[in-house]
A and B are shown apart, each in its own frame.
Chain A
Amino acid sequence: MADEANHKNEEVSREHFVQDMAKAAVAVGVLGLALSDFPEKLKAATPAGDPSLDPQDNLSWEGWNQVQLQKRDGWQDWDRINDPGNLRRFHDNFGQITKLKPKHHYVMVMDLRKCTGCQTCTVSCKAENNIPVGVFRTWVDTYQTGGMRPDPQGSVVTDNGNYAPDVHMVSVPKMCNHCDNPPCVEVCPVKATYKREDGPVLVDPELCIGCGTCVNACPYGARYLNPVSHVADKCNLCVERIDVGLLPACVTSCVGRARIFGDLNDPSSEVSQLLGSSANSVLHPEFGTEPQVFYIGMSGEILSSDDPTVQHMVFTYTENSNSTVGVK
């Protein structure tokens, strides 16, 4: 009898305990909801802060939530996508690459004489690679260089004499330079990013810890942390296209044929011919990164200096929307 009573008591107290726990769990849940940004998210559903534009809030954007697309569908197998031919990968000591005489050396040539700044490459890159809102793998910056020059025949009359406008609009398509000496690759703590022997600098999204060191280390601002996949992301020279013999999406879509892609190891390729016959330069040669994106017809005022007193940036996708430029 006593045993049974005890047993009953125990059971009752256990029931009470479970009930109490359930109550506590509900209370914690309600408290958590109240303290979380749930009410803020409700508030955010106004036209001013449209959450459907925010890739962090709207994972359905452009199919980023299609997690059912797995390796067997040919989607997540990054080893195969990034490097189907099992080429050698380099995380440091990039000087070895030339010594090993790789078969190809892919480069990009930007012929600024032909660039109209239409941003078709920007759009086609976003479409091809599913780039979230707010970040870019390639973009076209538009600069104004030059200024007013003293000219007795000039049309602008001032108290200090006549001036004539001597200004130029320059559109500069920019992307990852796939440097031969990439500082971003060397600083990666987990060897998630690498330079393939035939040129492209790539990121393995399944290894990246998202620490952001490479993003800070790239002097060209060509890397970003993908707001949806939460890893470092950058132009990959459309490896999945070039590995099957296609051109990168931006090259295919360029209306003025300002972007030329090719193999520098092949003397008859268009890039070799162009670089051999025209004066060309790279961005920031003084950094010693040996960029492999070459520019033809580049203004010297844009090449290495980011000085607003020399060049006036008319348009860019790189500028943070929360910056002093917006204020001016």
Chain B
Amino acid sequence: MNVPVMGLEHVYWGLPIVIYPYISGLVAGSFIVGSLSKVFGQKIFEPIAKLSLLVTLAFLLVAPLAPLSDARQPSRLLELYTRAHLPYSPLGLFTMIWTTYVLLVLVEVYFAFRQDNIRLGQVVPGWRGALYRFFALGSHDLSERAQRRDHALLVFLASAGILLAFAFHGYIGFVFGAIKARPLWSNPLMPVLFIVSAIVSGVALMILVYSVVWRYLSPERRTDPRIIEGLVSLLMWTIFIDLFLDAVDLLNSGVSAYASGPVFQGFSQIFMGGPLTFMYWGLQLGFLVLALALTFFRFVRRSALWASLAALLTVISVYAMRYNTVIGGQLQPKVSQGLILYTPPAFGRASVQVVIGLFAIVLFIFSLLVEFLPWEPLDSLLSSGAPTRGVESGASTPVKG
């Protein structure tokens, strides 16, 4: 910050606010993937249900750090609870939805892993066994009745969680949609756009995570092409919806005859020959169309590598969508003329460094969760004979409940 940027009109919401809906979208999307087998009866996704739950938890815990790192007085965060402005402030209500969501996901993680933790706690020696017994929170009940109760609870939690995921991410869309001072944000389509792109990014993320984790960390050391195919076809349909909404948005803001004056003015100046032209047409739309085209091919749908490529394109496209929304909306001045120019700083407050840090925290939490919670199907883990998770080869078969 050698030369101070003068003037009142700034990009006051910087890169962390781009990451905030991005991470929240990954939360909502991965949670919905994890709920597919429980709520929608898609049994082929059962093996990745637990893994998606861990992805959800890792991103969910970090989601509020992004806006906090952008706030100038983050140490006053407790005021968000003690002085919550409900239900008028979008950010205030977001805090409450996030808190509820964290509690729900923690309860769901407990019940999803309860049986496996009990079984592993019985066969694994040492501190790992103690850890599994701790995660079971003193529960020993492996009876049929307890299993049925677990399943019923999980179905309920997953259904409630999907509603919360929609509220959680739709509300982030509303944080922007509620600001009528920014013509490009004040758009009733915003919550829907955010939710659909959240599901798109969550499915793509699960393709990436599944490919890496199952290939390198699971007992089988290989991915299941049926799961890849299922996820890719889900990705295809959600991208269809997302592109449809993008087209509606484009028609309503990029065509002067259909859009209101300030909206068209801002959209055309920023995205049609303006500073974010490539970000919009190249990354947000181009990469998404490319990913969609890739999902049509049979070899992409069955190969973890190609599916990962399509997923990577999708994840980048959704990031570009968040950037175009958050930063693009603020490039249009409210009282002066011309366009505000913005280059994200590399270091310091609201910089690329902060973004890297946020993702590093996500990765750290996710690594801990993957290391200490039995996300892989227990039978394959125990029969593989590999000395993973502290299960010694030739360990006694687990006690059947």
Contact = CB atoms under 8 A, between A and B. Distances in A.
Q: Do A and B bind each other?
A: yes
B88 A92 contact: yes
Given A174-B335, A307-B261, A224 B8 contact: yes
Given A40-B2, A211-B91, A217-B179, A307 B265 contact: yes
A17 B1 CA distance: 40
Interface string A93-136: 00000000000000000000000000000000000000001111
A320 B338 CA distance: 10
Contacts of A48: 2-3
B12 A225 contact: yes
Interface in B220-268: 261-262, 265
Contact of B335 (A53, A307, A318, A326): A318
A316 B6 contact: no
A212 B92 contact: no
Given A189-B89, A319-B336, A323-B333, A306 B262 contact: yes
A211 to B, nearest CB: 5
A55 interface: yes
A325 B335 contact: no
Interface string B61-91: 0000001001111101101100111001111
B164 to A, nearest CB: 19
B103 interface: no
B340 A318 contact: no
B73 A208 contact: yes
Contacts of A84: none
Q: Do most interface residues of chain A lie in helix, strand or loop, or is the interface mixed?
A: loop
Among the interface residues A215, A217, A320, A323, which one has the most CB atoms of the partner chain B within 10 A? Answer: A320
A318 B83 CA distance: 32
B83 A190 contact: yes
Query: In which size bucket is the chain A interface?
Result: 35 or more
Interface in A163-206: 174, 183, 186-192
A324 interface: yes
A218 interface: yes
A141 B74 CA distance: 34
A319 B12 contact: no
A321 interface: yes
Interface in B174-190: 175, 178-182
Contact of A186 (B89, B181, B261): B89
A313 interface: yes
Nearest to B87: A92
A54 B339 contact: no
A78 interface: no
A68 interface: no
Nearest to A36: B347
A262 interface: no
Interface string B188-231: 00000000000000000000000000000000000000000000
Given A183-B181, A211-B91, A318-B8, A190 B341 contact: no
A219 interface: yes
A308 interface: yes
A283 to B, nearest CB: 9
Contacts of A183: 179-181
A133 B3 CA distance: 12
B140 interface: no
Interface in B324-381: 330, 333-342, 347-348
Given A134-B4, A307-B265, A320 B10 contact: yes
B8 A317 contact: yes
Contacts of A306: 262, 333-337
B336 A318 contact: yes
Contacts of A156: none
B46 interface: no
Contact of B338 (A44, A216, A230, A325): A325
A148 B226 CA distance: 71
Given A189-B85, A209-B73, A220 B4 contact: no
B9 A209 contact: no
Contacts of A187: 88-91, 178-179
Contact of A209 (B13, B76, B178, B337): B76
Interface in B7-46: 7-10, 12-13
Contact of B89 (A54, A57, A213): A213
Contacts of B2: 40, 43-44, 48-49, 51
B5 interface: yes
B95 interface: yes
A48 B335 CA distance: 29
Given A53-B4, A328-B338, A92 B12 contact: no
B335 A316 contact: yes
B340 A323 contact: yes
A325 B337 contact: yes
A189 B347 contact: no
Given A183-B181, A188-B85, A318 B79 contact: no
Interface in A1-58: 37, 40, 43-44, 48-49, 51, 53-57
Interface of A: 37, 40, 43-44, 48-49, 51, 53-57, 91-92, 133-136, 139, 141, 174, 183, 186-192, 207-213, 215-221, 224-225, 227, 230-231, 287, 305-308, 313, 316-326, 328
24 contacts: A37-B347, A55-B4, A134-B5, A188-B85, A189-B89, A191-B83, A191-B85, A192-B83, A207-B76, A209-B71, A209-B73, A209-B74, A217-B179, A225-B72, A227-B4, A306-B333, A307-B261, A319-B9, A320-B6, A323-B7, A324-B338, A325-B337, A325-B338, A328-B338
Given A216-B13, A218-B334, A225-B12, 4 more contacts: A190-B92, A216-B12, A220-B334, A320-B5
